[in-house]
Amino acid sequence: MAKSSTRLLPATLIAIAVALLGWQLWRARAPEPSRPPDPAPAADKAPAADEIPDTADAPAQTERKIEPSRGPAYRNPQLADLKQRADSGDSRAACELGVDLLRCVDLTPAEQVLANAEANSRTQMPAEQRAYHERTVGRARQLLAECRNAPEDAWHQGNHYLRQAALAGEPEAMYRYARGDSVLADYSRMATPEFDRWRAEAGNMLQLSFEAGYLPSVFDLMVAYSDNSSPIAGLIPNDPTKARAMRLLVGRLAGKNADPPEPRYAALEPAAAALAAQWQRDYFPAVKPPLQRLPRIMPGGFATLFAEDNAGPPCSQP
């Protein structure tokens, strides 16, 4: 790893530790969330996106038109164009706008990159590491400059448009919203109505993203069916058969055999294998094994700083 990356490691680890502590404290004091129904078996589709209740206390409510987010005109022309398209019903523009706005919620990583820039510039390093360092510094400056023109309520509007795109069925938006890219951006919004609404919608939204064939959701659902180690995992009931089926699905997509099951779950293997085969057939028919790796989607700000050069813009999947 490049030395510039190494210098970021302590701050990154501290941020992760604070986030996990916040999550554990919330779980300790919050009432047990009302769990959504166990995701439907492979043959049964989850409800359509526009059937997801708008609030946790309105389970019978179906389709609801999301009104355009109000506020002053955007100073950033690119964001203004995305907003106009999103308000006209372009769900992909709403997804991209939501991600772009949420990049500006927590600029600590970019500020840390610039804080270490001078010291790193004096450090001897191989040419490849130097190029990585200079690229990251340039990206940090660009992110901070762009966010100076973001609206003051970037979090509210970012959450609004990301959710709008998710309810419209955009696979990446469903995944990002379910993962908590908005309400868990910095763990400071756990007492908001938006957080309560996310708790009611997230489990079903992740399932819908999976059923849309969005590959990053496979890993998150595999973890969610296995344990409660993350906020979204804590909202989805554990299911050893589905957890094993997810592992078998990953093996099938990668063209490799999965590790043998734990002895206590050996009896579940036939059902899990059948489920994995059906998921591959129903949701991932266009994926040609072997996959070299499952794609992983970084939150917006981290993606801006650290994504590979050939990474496309958010919400650009076909």
Rounded alpha-carbon distances, angstroms, from residue 224 to 52, 53, 97, 166: 20, 22, 28, 20
Distance CA 201, CA 209 (A): 12
- pTM given for the model: 0.75
Helices (H), 30-153: 77-87, 91-102, 108-115, 117-121, 127-147
Mean pLDDT of the chain: 80
- pLDDT category of residue 68 using cuts at 50, 70 and 90: low
pLDDT at 119: 81
Query: pLDDT tens digits for 102-142?
Result: 999 889 889 999 998 888 778 888 888 888 888 899 989 99
**Could you tell me if 216 and 171 are in contact, meaning their C-beta atoms sit under 8 angstroms apart?**
no
Task: Name which of 167, 175, 140 is nearest 47 in CA terms.
Answer: 167
Distance CA 223, CA 244 (A): 10
Distance CA 303, CA 158 (A): 16
Query: pLDDT tens digits for 154-172?
Result: 999 999 999 999 999 999 9
Distance CA 207, CA 210 (A): 5
Distance CA 196, CA 305 (A): 30
